[in-house]
A and B are shown apart, each in its own frame.
Chain A
Amino acid sequence: MGTVAGAQQILAGLKDAGIDLVSSVPDINMLQLINLLYEDKQITHVPVGREEEGVGVCAGAHLGGKKPALLMQNGGLLNSCNGLTTTALQFGMPILLLIYYAGDIGDNAFHMVGLVTEPVLQGLGIKYIVMRDPAKVKQDIAGAVTLANSSKRPVALLLTRAVL
Chain B
Amino acid sequence: MKRFECLKAIAPLIKNELFVTTAGGATAEWNGVHPSDGNIQVKTLGLCSSIGLGMALALPRRKVFVFDGDGALWMNLGSLATIGLHQPKNLIHICWDNQQYESSGGEPTVATAGNIDFAGVARNAGIKSSRTATTVEELQQAVSHALTQDGPHFIWARIEAGRAEAPPLQYDELENKYHFIRYVEETEGINILRVPMPASYLLK
Interface string of B167-204 (1 = CB under 8 A from A): 00000011001001100110010111001111111000
Number of A-B contacts (CB under 8 A): 144
Looking at A21, A48, A143, the one whose CB has the most chain B CB atoms below 10 A away is A48
The answer to whether B49 and A56 have CB atoms under 8 Å apart is: yes
Q: Which of B51, B62, B86, B185 contacts A56 (CB 8 A)?
A: B51
**B162 adjacent to chain A (CB < 8 Å):** no
Per DSSP, chain B at the interface is helix
A52 to B78 CA separation, bound complex (whole angstroms): 11
Describe A's contact surface by its main secondary structure: helix
Give the segment of A32-40, A86-94, A100-108 that binds chain B: A86-94
Question: For chain A, which range describes its interface: under 10, 10 to 19, 20 to 34, or 35 or more residues?
Answer: 35 or more
Given A90-B173, A139-B201, do A53 and B78 touch, yes or no (CB 8 Å)? yes
Residues A91 and B54 in contact, CB atoms below 8 Å apart:
no
Query: Which residue of the partner chain, among B52, B78, B174, contacts A60 with CB atoms under 8 Å?
Result: B52
Quick check: A57 and B54 within 8 Å, CB to CB? yes
CB distance from A35 to the nearest CB of B (A): 18
Contact between chains at B180 and A63 (CB < 8 Å): yes
- Taking a contact as CB atoms under 8 Å apart, the answer to whether A16 and B198 are in contact is yes
- A30 at interface by CB-CB < 8 Å: no
**Set of chain B residues within 8 Å of A47, measured between Cβ atoms:** 82, 85
B54: A residues at CB distance < 8 A:
21, 23, 46, 56-64, 66, 68
The answer to the question of B100 belonging to the interface, with a C-beta cut-off of 8 Å to chain A, is: no
Which residues of B43-88 have CB atoms within 8 Å of chain A's CB atoms?
43-44, 47-59, 62, 76, 78-79, 81-82, 85-86
Looking at the complex, which one of A21, A61, A142 makes contact with B201 (CB distance below 8 Å)? Answer: A142
**Nearest A residue to B51 by beta-carbon distance?**
A60
Alpha-carbon gap, A96 to B177, bound state (A): 19
10 closest A-B pairs by beta carbon, nearest first, are: A56-B50, A60-B54, A64-B58, A60-B55, A57-B54, A142-B201, A142-B198, A60-B51, A61-B54, A56-B47
Could you list some 7 contacts between A and B, CB below 8 A?
Answer: A17-B198, A18-B195, A60-B50, A63-B192, A65-B59, A65-B184, A87-B51
